[in-house]
Chain A
């Protein structure tokens, strides 16, 4: 009982934000449920009226010739037949459209929240996990209305309605229906939910783990193949797959059992109503036609209960998906601030006694660094010493724990990140290219750049000849994460993208990494020309890997965090 209470609380807490999203379209949802009810009532009506009609005619035929109106019930039967088809078609179409509308909105909304997260939060989760949240988790939520809210509600209304209807003719039959069908309804909703909870809850995570393994197989195939380590990795894969299949088998068996229970209880109820009817018939309380009508109507109630076992054994999965989406949306960043005028001359950038902690460990401590307008400053440091962190502070990927940064005379922590970043061209340590064309990747730097401008910037990074020799030129797809390019080519495309941005403040993190000596010479010379008149912070592991700087510093790490030393 306690676990039931806990699960229900959990469930409500996880689903509350999504129920609120549903609430925004309340009108559509009620109309959808009404259509569902209309479908069920037509099915009920069709079978019970037909049963009544046949029995009544048989009785009428036996008795002395009397007038029997065949037209009213006949057209009633036909009307129910047509209504059932029409309402069912409309209901399914309308409700699915509603749900997909909600899902499309949700996806955009979730991505919008992701885009606003800061670098620290983002680095906590893995890429495939985000993807799964965006697609599978949101998809799992479509269960919420179409399978978990409307159908049980409609089924309950139908059970109560039909039992009351039966009571009008034979109270005992009505009570019997309530006594059998209400517990059945509870078993199919609450019972199934609890019964399938653990396996379906786990299934979501297992399916995701399998996806991650698949991505590993593809992305790590080179290493796995060369080392003949495929079998070892396949063992990991098989372990996840076995677990997933075991869960699915258990859920399937339980759903099947619940379906069988539905059949059994509904049919028993029909037999029970018939038995009560027979007793009432012999005592003259009930007509034969009504007895048959109630029996057949009971059978038709099954139609409203059919979808419940499948939906409710999977409730755990819905809850898990909601829970994970919630965990992600809870990480709302607090990054707001005044916005900065765009454009303008080369700004100054200053670090004033900046310190940054990662958990208990100091990454940077007592950093004082001033870049005058138009000055080019180099920072040299070993990998992992905090160079990239220095750059990330400047674009407000996160704020320092101690001290402050100043962009001209603004405190960076008080600036809106977007307006700040609009004035900074930042080449990150990893060349992040998108699965798109070469032109599209370059135009991220300047969406309005002409082809001529793209060619000009390619010339600067010594990629002109290469791009010109490509059969598809600028329209060549660069592959996932730029994999169709060599490491050095990807680096230069990323650099070209930053150059197109034409910002007054430039931060370049290892701009020449992965380039051979000859190419590095060419690009270094081009960079030196291009950097003239801009404020620049250049980061590398050795000064040879940078264009000429006005001043250079070394980032030295020790136990208390990295500090700067003038070279």
Chain B
């Protein structure tokens, strides 16, 4: 970049959202060109059609020719308008292909980004907000690529084409058109700037709105119990009315821009019509007015609205641009979020120590969450392959953070984390993931090629055997978001079945028995013992004596540090 352009960029910084939108357009160049080409064909066909109409009228009215002489021109007009309709179809379809392609690619980028950010960083975000970004905000990019972007070029080229023709017919009429035309982009730019700012605000409002809704709807039972139903309804209504006021502010400006354009277009057509009329009557001596005849006059009149049409269409699509820019800002914020350097140094293979291999090794690791005190460390830990380790400690002592660190969801601020590379890590926390789909689909997430028999045996081992036999649909029983049809304990056991099914050697369990009754719990503990017997490494954060008893080693955490030296036996705290 040259010095000059850089200083220019500093005084009037190029809008980053616009740059981002342009960057997404590289893959759609062929379709974009096709849309432009079709747009130009429409313009030329329109020109032929209007010229033909004017010719027919002039020759009929002035020269008194009838349909017998004029039919070939009529035929040309007919062909031109068939071409025009076909090209118009081509332009719309090509534009749409642009929009669909970009949407798919941006969604892929966003998903990749979410995966890179990892679960811990996403925990503070509203999943409904992100879902709305992934689905609805991306949806609002379509219009920009499908309609607005091709129209920008057409709004420049097509009026130019018509202007040349009008100039050739009568230069003074061309000047009438020219006077109005440059004012239009100026006004639109001024108004567009305001519209964009409002649009951004509106997008933030929509994201907040959907987050607010989902949150309140999820907690509707709690709202009922606390007698807050009416207050929450009023709140929802207020938020919705606030959304209306915001929308109206945006729309008022957006409509004003098209009104300005309409005004100039209409006044120009009127001025041209009056000029031609007076010129034909011979009331105007100045310039080429005397050369006007019915053909040129009518042709100009027919072209005058067409001259403004591409600009009017552009202004109708202006809100596509504004909403795309508004969406781009939110999407960029997500895409630009810094991704932590992977903490898990899985590449560094561990030297075997004795007969055992370390499955996990932490060295002087420290971890803190943004805006919080240090949650973990300094802490060193070595877990041998095949070992069962229980992590205990008061809630908030850092047990979950330690597991997240080992799973690679968060990066340590200091120290080294090494995990023996494997196909996967089995994970189970207090909020098991239940996807919309069948029971089998839920299980096959972790083992896509598992046989039905393998699924059944995994369910059996997780203590869901009886449930499966009672379920009418068997493995095809549909499950919904947050496990409709499954109680808390059953959801937990489904997640446990995934552990059994998965080929993972390292198993991280965050309070796996928190929601289970003693009976199920005993079954789960037995199952976990079977799991350990297969040589898998288990790290379990738990309060439960039964699980502590099962462990080879119990580690106590407090304030993010190990308080009992690794290897010491845990003194069981009596529960009552």
Contact = CB atoms under 8 A, between A and B. Distances in A.
Interface string A106-121: 0110011011110100
Interface residues of A, number: 166
A424 B224 CA distance: 12
A117 B522 CA distance: 38
Interface in B504-520: 504, 508, 511, 514-520
A209 to B, nearest CB: 7
A537 interface: no
B229 interface: yes
Would you call the interface of chain A mostly helix, strand, loop, or mixed?
Answer: helix
Contact of B219 (A255, A267, A434): A434
A563 to B, nearest CB: 17
8 contacts: A81-B263, A88-B258, A88-B262, A214-B135, A256-B93, A259-B88, A488-B394, A542-B517
A126 B126 contact: no
Contacts of B56: 274, 278
User: Closest 7 CB pairs between A and B?
Assistant: A488-B395, A220-B433, A108-B237, A288-B61, A226-B427, A382-B517, A256-B92
Contacts of A255: 92
Interface stretch (A176-184, A245-253, A319-327, A347-355): A245-253
A126 B244 contact: no
Interface residues of B, number: 170
A223 interface: yes
A53 interface: yes
B251 A96 contact: yes
B125 A57 contact: no
A122 B220 contact: yes
A114 B407 contact: no
Contacts of A486: 395-396, 400
Interface stretch (A368-376, A404-412, A451-459, A512-520): A512-520
A50 B273 contact: yes
Contact of B134 (A214, A230, A436): A214
Contacts of B444: 232
Interface string A464-497: 0010011110000001110110111100000001
Given A81-B270, A486-B396, A213 B436 contact: yes
A157 interface: no
B191 to A, nearest CB: 13
B270 A517 contact: no
Contacts of A81: 263, 266-267, 269-270
A544 interface: yes
Contact of B425 (A211, A227, A422): A227
B131 A128 contact: yes
Contacts of B60: 278, 281-282, 288, 291
B119 interface: yes
B128 A131 contact: yes
Contact of B573 (A252, A417, A517): A517
Interface in B472-489: 480-482, 484, 487-489
A122 B222 CA distance: 12
Contact of A481 (B103, B218, B448): B218
B283 to A, nearest CB: 7
Q: Which of A215, A259, A417, A520 has the most CB of B within 10 A?
A: A215
Given A85-B262, A488-B396, A245 B407 contact: no
Interface in A221-242: 221-230, 232-234, 236-237, 241
Interface stretch (B62-70, B157-165, B355-363, B377-385): B62-70
A268 B227 CA distance: 65
Nearest to A472: B371
Interface stretch (A4-12, A20-28, A97-105, A193-201): A97-105
Given A227-B424, A278-B66, 4 more contacts: A108-B234, A263-B88, A282-B66, A288-B57
Contact of A58 (B215, B294, B425, B576): B294
B484 A126 contact: yes
B30 to A, nearest CB: 16
Contacts of B119: 221-222, 225
Interface string A137-170: 0000000000000000000000000000000000
Contact of B244 (A103, A224, A517): A103
B445 interface: yes
Given A252-B92, A264-B82, A226 B424 contact: yes
A232 B555 CA distance: 35
B495 A223 contact: yes
B525 interface: no
A141 to B, nearest CB: 13
B122 A218 contact: yes
Contacts of A64: none
A108 B233 contact: yes
A100 B225 contact: no
B486 to A, nearest CB: 10
B244 A100 contact: yes
A70 B281 contact: yes
Contacts of B51: none
Contacts of A434: 215-216, 219, 222
A82 B266 contact: yes
B273 A85 contact: no
Contacts of B240: 103-104, 107-108
A222 B119 CA distance: 5
A126 B118 contact: no
B301 interface: yes
Contacts of A267: 49, 81, 84-85
Contact of B111 (A61, A108, A234, A256): A234
B130 interface: yes
Interface stretch (B3-11, B206-214, B526-534): B206-214
B413 interface: no
Contacts of A215: 127-128, 130-131, 481
B385 to A, nearest CB: 18
Contacts of A487: 395, 430, 511, 514
Q: Which of A81, A257, A295, A432 has the most CB of B within 10 A?
A: A81
Contacts of A513: 514-515
A555 to B, nearest CB: 10
B14 interface: no
A81 B125 CA distance: 52
Contact of A517 (B130, B281, B427, B575): B575
A296 B139 CA distance: 38
B236 A108 contact: yes
B89 interface: yes
B433 A516 contact: no
B248 A96 contact: yes
Contacts of A237: 111
B430 A271 contact: no
B293 interface: yes
A383 B543 contact: no
A202 interface: no
Contacts of B573: 517-518
Contact of A519 (B395, B481, B490): B395
A389 B186 CA distance: 67
A229 to B, nearest CB: 5
A80 to B, nearest CB: 8
B233 A55 contact: no
Given A241-B107, A279-B66, A292-B57, A220 B435 contact: yes
Interface string B50-61: 000100110011
B495 to A, nearest CB: 7
